[in-house]
Structures are given as structure tokens and as C-alpha cells.
Structure 1
């Protein structure tokens, strides 16, 4: 019974056999790794005083300005999706994200020079990096909207590990070398999503259009989840560093590679071994890991443990799982990446920024006795556990999306297609099946989508399709959404007309 959630050996062997070198090394992975490495270098590296020309740490106010600007970009993209797409499909403006990021990086490097006021370079650094990195994040959101979850579950952890390796290597180099790498990383990352993957390319339409959705309900659910976890993670990290008197360099630099290696092993291992490999199940697993390390805080308080390996495992698991949840949600339900990543990643950023503000106040106002440390750990653990209540289930996503899965098929014995019905189907099976197969080939339907299409055309309701194909309600709804989108129809009558014309 203890191992009932683990796959059998045959399934495990099959999953491993499906892996290849490209599962761990491809353009998408490298591009995303470059972007995450830039984040590590600019903020973690700057906090470690190894990035600026003079070796001084960038003030925390610059980080807050960048975070707030990033939130504004992400939320604006979610609310004004059509305008944002028109803006970014311009041949020149497509490159605005990496260009702004590079300019912001240059301002960070020159922040403490005597020729330019630090206030001006700090402000420009925060605004430009927030604007640029937000656009790049949305670009990779669009990429992973079209990547199957089985690939995403491996690629995102692996890319984060590569980013940690780049970060740790650059921390051993002089500031000038770190600066040069940080200038190149956004450009290399942008080359991948703009040139290799053709994101926002003028005249290029997505293979499957986004499904309309209730943005307010989605924002509340996914936003609350991301905000709670982001706040708890940021708060507990700052408290951990304060009570153990750990300098930023000692916290981030030694443990980054090891923590990412542990994170990658845990998440990729879970993906291969677990029967339920959805991100919802994986999210529960990650929340357990985060709660475990948060509860270690009172145990480690005042000890000789001076690096942040334990806390960084939690930090990296949190960042990776949120990205995976957003990617799987947008892929499975064919939602707009602008809305999903704009709201989701924006709330994560807002939560981390709020955690930074709260922790600054808490550290200055409270004396951390053993009781206070235990209380802080308890509060952060509860926030992490509460976040699971807001994770969207299949039924929630069905309610949020506006497509009526039963359109025209509310009655089991209602009107069917001209070739439907058990009697005619039995006497003349070939013409109907041939028409369905022609439609499936014309619009690129998968074998499973073809099965669902044939039953739906015969007048089966969603409930009957679930029974006949042994599928969940959410899976059937997702297949129907894909069919409607690929066939470019909006009602069942339009759907039947296209089959009848064959």
C-alpha cells in the first residue's frame, strides 16, 4: 500500500525509454536557462557584491523598483492582451525586451561610478530590467504554452540547474567578466524565443487559438496561490539569513548548484515515478518539501550552518513548480499565455516583493527568541499549505472557460448528424467514418481527438463520452475545446456542417 502511487516497472521503463539527449539539452532549455541565469546574476550576484564595477551591492530599493515594474508589465499584458500582441509583433519592437534588459544591466554595472548620480542609474536599472525581463518571461510563457507537460516537467528543472551552474561559475570571475556575461544572456535568450521558436513573429498565427475565459475568477484563484507561496518563501529566507547572521554571498553562492541539483532530482524523479504526474499532484509534493524546510528553521537557528542550501532547495522548487503549473494550465486548457503567465508570474513577483517588505519590518521590529522563530515558521508553513486550496482543479477550469461542452448535445436522444444513430451507423458505417477521418486529417486532430469527435458527432453527451472512452470530465472537455479550435467552429451546428460537407 505504501507504494501504490508509484508506477510499475514496465511503465517506468517506458518513460525512461522515451527520454533522449534532447529531453535534457535543446534550444528551449538553453534559452530559458540563459534567462534564469541572468536573474540569478543580476539580483543574487548583486546582493553578493560581485556584479557592479566597484564591487558594492545594489541597494534593495532597486530590486523593489524592478519587481514592481515587472508586475506592471505582466499585469498589463494580461489585461491588454490584444494591444500587447500588436505591439510585440512589430519586426523591430519584438527585440525591445532584450534591449531594455541589456540597458538595465549596464545601469547596474555603472551604478556606483562618480560620473553618474547613483539615484538616476538605480532608478533606470530597476525600470529597464523590470520592463525587459517581463517581456522575455512572457515570451517563454508563449513557448511553453505549446509544449506538452511531459516535456515541460523535465525541461524547466533542468534549465534551472543549468542556470545555477552559470551563476556559480560567474561568481568566481571578476565583476567585469560577470557583467559581460550578464549583457549577453538576455540577447541569447531572446534569440531562442524570437528566432528559433518564432514567438510573436509578424503574420504567424498560433496553431490553436486561446479559449475565452473568466479572467477575474482565474486571477483570484491562481493569484492567491502564487502570492501566498511567494510571500512565505521570501519572508522565511530573510528571517533565516538574519537569525543566523548569514551574509548574502555566504547564503547564495555555496549552495546554489547543490540546491538546484537536489531540486532537479526530486522533480524529475517524481515525474518518472509517480502514477499521477500532473502538476497539481507535483505541487502537493513541492509544498510538502517547502513546509519541511521551513519547519527546519527553528532547528537550525543559531547553529553553525552558514550557507543557504536548505532554504535554496525550497526557493528553487517553488519557482520551478509555479512555472510548471502555469505552463501545464495554459497548454492543457489552451488558455492565453499572456493571461496565465501575466497573472500567475505577476502574483509570484508581487508576493516575493511583499515578503521582502514584511521581512524588513519584522527583522527590525521583533527580537527573534526561539518562540518568535517558531511562530514565524508556523505562519509561513500555514501560508504554504493554504496555497494548495487555491490550486485549480479540472472542474474549476471547466467553469472558468466559457465554452459550453454540452452545446447542442444536452439531450441524449436529441438531433444527431445525418449519418448518426445506431441503426444507420450499423448499416452504413463506412461513409460516416470516412468523413470523420477526412476531417481529422484535414485539421490535424490526434487519434484520441478523432474518437471524441466521432462520438460527439453521433450525438453523445460529454458524460457518455467519458463512459465509453474511460476519460475524466476535464479530459473530454479539453479534447472538445481542441477540436473546436482546430476546426475553427464555435457551435455544434457549425461542427456538424463541416462533417456533412464531406
Structure 2
């Protein structure tokens, strides 16, 4: 029994290769725009701002058109355009090396095309992750962070011709991996882009905004070092910590520990960076990159969970979040430039911005975590409307909230809470197996544990506990499986 359980846990911890494609677009960003691989024109400060602005505009455009678009993953034409934009951006970014002369207009065009293309790619991967359970999101996203850093370490050994050629391949490879991952992920043909309207989960986005602003304060110094944001030792170590934690502990992994690490790391990094010398500066860079990576994992899981549980459009939600994040980082860079201008006239000017940002992060974190449940709505709520989609979305959210309350009341684990929600949605054991990508025997074991903890013996009793009317039509494809306690 222990051996079967061990094998099942390792199967659950496996990461499909296709999902590592997210790390490829992260590698592309660092090579083309924010890394120190080569002296590319697009790495200049102005072009970097244009790159961010283009990404913001693209993210907001797709967010406002999310209902019309429906799904990026299911529209190959959108991905082809994204790959074309990124490939052209790569060519233009390497143009100074190819021609031996500087082309300012080419660098500007590279930034515009790169920001637009990467914005679409980010939303496509975010949409795909929103179809997965929170535990899978944590595992796959952390694995992609580690994989992206390792790719960048390999790229560092390339001479310019090879670096150019291999960088050209990254956008197309990421898109191909995305399409492949969509084929094996649950919920194919269901992008969860509900037509119902939700308000923005402002608490979660404000929390990410505060961390992005803090990271933007030190961004210039971080990028000037030997590593970029996606290959920094702190990024790799935090990605490994989450990956190993989820793989080893599984459903017992506490995502709250990620948050508890993010806050002190950012505070320590903000004060060590401007105060001490080179060694402490390197330590501060490690803390900042690790803290920001931890918060990035956290926000990905939080927002994906909102989409997963409530049927919120991932394109809409992540489009808004990405736009706010990039603007906050730009404001952080601008604040640093302003503080540098005051350094010659104002005593201790270099400490003003870090101190204010630390206060903002601590305050924002305290307020944001007033949310009673980690996987709650984080300020998002269903907007009033008269359409049938609003009624369905309202029922879906009521069920999700009821399952959260029941899981807490009966002491269910995080994974058992996910199974409970799917049982409440009238999924069969086979459907739950496909949704959570776990073995059938594991699903039945979870159902037995849920029934025992809740003191029930059938699916009908479970539906009554979570407030779902057991009478009426059964879902398509349902069977007696799971009606009685699995044996």
C-alpha cells in the first residue's frame, strides 16, 4: 500500500514537458530586452519602456475584448501572429550585430513588436494554467521558472551567431509547447471565458502592484549585473523551493509559506541594497529576486484559482493584472530616477523610496490577507445582470464558496477541497481524474476520506451539505460512480 501511494505521489508530481514551454518565453524576454547577454539596442532604457508600454496596451486590448476572443489557445491564428511579432522583434533587436551599425527606428519597432507579441504569449499561457487545479498551477509554474533559468544558463555559453539563431527559435517553440499542453490539459474546448461579468479582484492585484513597484525600484541595478530577472540566483532558488515543496509534500504544501517568505525577503532586499557594499548588494539582489518570484507564483495561483473556481475569463483577469504589474514596475523605475536626481541636494534621499515602498508592501500585505480564505474571491464579485450567464455564474460561485466553507468546517485537505468542488459540480470519478491529472485509485481514496470526514455515505448527501439540490437532471456523462462511498 505504501509503495502504491509513493508511486502515485511521484506520478502526481510529474510535470509534462509541454508545460515547460512557459519558461521559453521567459528566456526570450531576458535575451532580447532585459538581459546582459549582448549589447543590443533594444536593451536601452527608452526601448525597455516602449516594450512595457506595448505589453500594457496589448494586455488591456485583449482584456476588454476577452468576451469576443474567448480563447487564445483555441485560436491558432492569434498565436501565429504573436510568434511572427516576436520573431520580427528578435531580428530587429539583433540588427546592430548583424549590420554593424545602430538603427534607432529598428530598435523602437523591435520594442513595439516584442511587447505586443509577448503580451499575447503571456495571456495564452495564463489562460491554459487557469484550467488546472491550484496545486498543478504551483507545480507547473515553478517548473517553468526553473526551466527558463536553466535555458538562459545554457544560452550564456553561446557565441553571437548561435545566440541569435537559438533566440529566434524561442517564440515558435513556446507557442508549439502551448498548443501541445492545451491538448493534454483538462477542459479542452472550455476556455472558461464565461460571459458573466465580474468585478476585478482588486486586493490580489493591488498586492502584486505593491511588489512590482518595489521590484521596479531596484530593477536597473539588478539588470546591470551578471544575471537578468529570469536567471537570477534568487529566481532559480525560489522556483526550486516551490517545485520541490509541491513535488515532495503534494497537497500538504502550504502556499501561505510562499507568501511568508516573500514579505521579509523584499523588505531585507530593499534596505540591504542601498546601504551596504558589494557583498551585501549581491545578497540584496538575491533577496529581491527571490521575494518577487515568490509573489509572482502566489499571484499566478490566486488568479488562476479564481478563474478555475468561478469561471472568470482568464484573458480578462490576467490582462488587467499584467497591465497593472508593468505600469507599477515602470513607476518604480521612475521613482528611482527621481530619487537619484535628489541625491545631491537631499540628505538620505536614497533611503526615501525604499522606506516608503516597504511601508506600502507591509500595509498592502496586511490588508490583502484580511481575505478569510486564500482561495477566495479577493475582492471580485459577480456584477448584477439579467442574463442566464449571470445566473449560472452566480450558482457556480455560490457552490465554490460553499465548498470552501465545508472544507474548512470538516477539516479537509487542499486536494480534498478540490475534489469536493468537482463532486459538487456532479463530476464523475473519471472526470475528476482527468481534471486533476491524478490516478483513479487516488480519486476514490479522496472521495472515501471526504465522505468519512463529513459523516456521509452518498453523493446526494454531499450535494445537500454543500447546498446543491440533488433532485433534477443528472449531468451529462454522469453515472453511479461516486454515488455511494467508493470501496
**TM-score normalised per structure 2:** 0.71
On the 8 A contact 1:98/1:187 being kept in 2, the answer is yes
On the 8 A contact 1:235/1:359 being kept in 2, the answer is yes
Question: What is the alpha-carbon root mean square deviation over aligned residues?
Answer: 4.4
**Residue 300 (str. 1) matches residue 290 (str. 2):** no
Query: For 1:230, which of 187, 212, 232 is the aligned residue?
Result: 212
Match of 2:264 in 1: 288
Q: Distance in 2 between matches of 1:398 and 1:454?
A: 32
Match of 1:206 in 2: 190
Match of 1:250 in 2: 226
Match of 1:431 in 2: none
The change in CA–CA distance for 1:141 and 1:126 in structure 2 (over 3 A counts) is same
Match of 1:260 in 2: 235
Q: Distance in 1 between matches of 2:475 and 2:124?
A: 40
**Residue 123 (str. 1) matches residue 100 (str. 2):** no
Q: Distance in 1 between matches of 2:174 and 2:475?
A: 47
Residue 400 of structure 1 aligns to a residue whose secondary structure is coil
Query: For 2:60, which of 75, 82, 94 is the aligned residue?
Result: 75
Q: Distance in 1 between matches of 2:309 and 2:66?
A: 20
Residue 223 of structure 1 aligns to a residue whose secondary structure is helix
Q: Distance in 2 between matches of 1:401 and 1:21?
A: 37
- The Cα offsets for residues 467-493 of structure 1, whole Å up to 9 and x where unpaired, read as xxxxxxxxx58xx6xxxxxxxxxxx6x
Match of 2:419 in 1: none
- The Cα offsets for residues 68-93 of structure 1, whole Å up to 9 and x where unpaired, read as 11111212222211223378755534
Q: Distance in 2 between matches of 1:121 and 1:408?
A: 52
Q: Distance in 1 between matches of 2:39 and 2:457?
A: 57
Q: Distance in 1 between matches of 2:381 and 2:424?
A: 31
Q: Distance in 1 between matches of 2:26 and 2:425?
A: 44
On the 8 A contact 2:73/2:127 being kept in 1, the answer is no
Residue 205 of structure 1 aligns to a residue whose secondary structure is coil
Residue 214 of structure 1 aligns to a residue whose secondary structure is coil
Match of 1:400 in 2: 381
CA apart distance, 1:181: 1.5
Match of 2:484 in 1: none
Q: Distance in 1 between matches of 2:43 and 2:318?
A: 28
- The Cα offsets for residues 216-253 of structure 1, whole Å up to 9 and x where unpaired, read as x42x3333222211111110343xx3xxxx88143549
CA apart distance, 1:351: 1.3
Residue 329 of structure 1 aligns to a residue whose secondary structure is helix
CA apart distance, 1:145: 0.9
On the 8 A contact 1:142/1:199 being kept in 2, the answer is no
Aligned length: 418
Unaligned 5+ segments in structure 2 are 384-392, 400-422, 433-442, 480-487
The change in CA–CA distance for 1:169 and 1:90 in structure 2 (over 3 A counts) is closer
CA apart distance, 1:195: 3.9
Q: Distance in 2 between matches of 1:451 and 1:213?
A: 37
Unaligned 5+ segments in structure 1 are 1-10, 410-435, 466-475, 481-491
Query: For 1:314, which of 276, 287, 291 is the aligned residue?
Result: 291
Q: Distance in 1 between matches of 2:308 and 2:96?
A: 41
Match of 1:497 in 2: 472
On the 8 A contact 1:297/1:373 being kept in 2, the answer is no
